[in-house]
């Protein structure tokens, strides 16, 4: 059985998310409106497959929705230039840490960022 590897990905969101979503706005007080709004995630699929799941409101086999409402409503496209330098990760725990690290790094650069 092949070993599961996790990938970090970044999706550009419509800037409407900043004006329409109070939680997103509250999470990004550093945002100055110049750069983009982004979603950072991690997946065991390809980033493209995961983006499609978000946009279609994907539910897992148990019927739980595992797609982000923010990406479903505001997701525009993948931003590979912001994540292609990150190698696949072997454990879910490491991937979750790296997801948060990248999200906070992008916030420091003045992007508005949502992550789980």
pLDDT > 90: percent of the chain: 85
pLDDT tens for each residue of 86-111? 999 999 999 999 999 999 999 999 99
pLDDT at 37 over 90: yes
- For 36, the domain range is 7-115
Please indicate, yes or no, if residue 31 is contained in any of the structural domains: yes
Residue 1 lies in a domain: no
41 assigned to some structural domain = yes
2 in any annotated domain? no
Structural domain contains residue 88: yes
pTM of the model: 0.94
Residue 38 belongs to a domain: yes
In a domain, 78, yes or no: yes
pLDDT digits (tens, 9 = 90+) for 57-90: 888 888 888 889 999 999 999 999 999 999 999 9
Query: DSSP readout, 8-61?
Result: EEEEEE-THHHHH-HHHHHH-TT--SSS-EEEEEEESS-HHHHHHHHHHT-B-T
């Amino acid at each position: 059985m092949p070993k599961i590897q996790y990938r970090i990905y970044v999706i550009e969101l419509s800037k409407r998310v900043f004006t329409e979503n109070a939680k997103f706005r509250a999470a990004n007080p550093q945002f100055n409106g110049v750069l983009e709004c982004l979603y950072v995630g991690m997946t065991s699929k390809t980033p493209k497959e995961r983006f499609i799941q978000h946009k279609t409101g994907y539910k897992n086999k148990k019927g739980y929705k595992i797609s982000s409402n923010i990406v479903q409503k505001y997701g525009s496209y993948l931003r590979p230039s912001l994540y292609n330098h990150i190698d696949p990760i072997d454990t879910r725990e490491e991937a979750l840490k790296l997801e948060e690290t990248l999200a906070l790094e992008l916030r420091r650069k003045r992007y508005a960022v949502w992550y789980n």
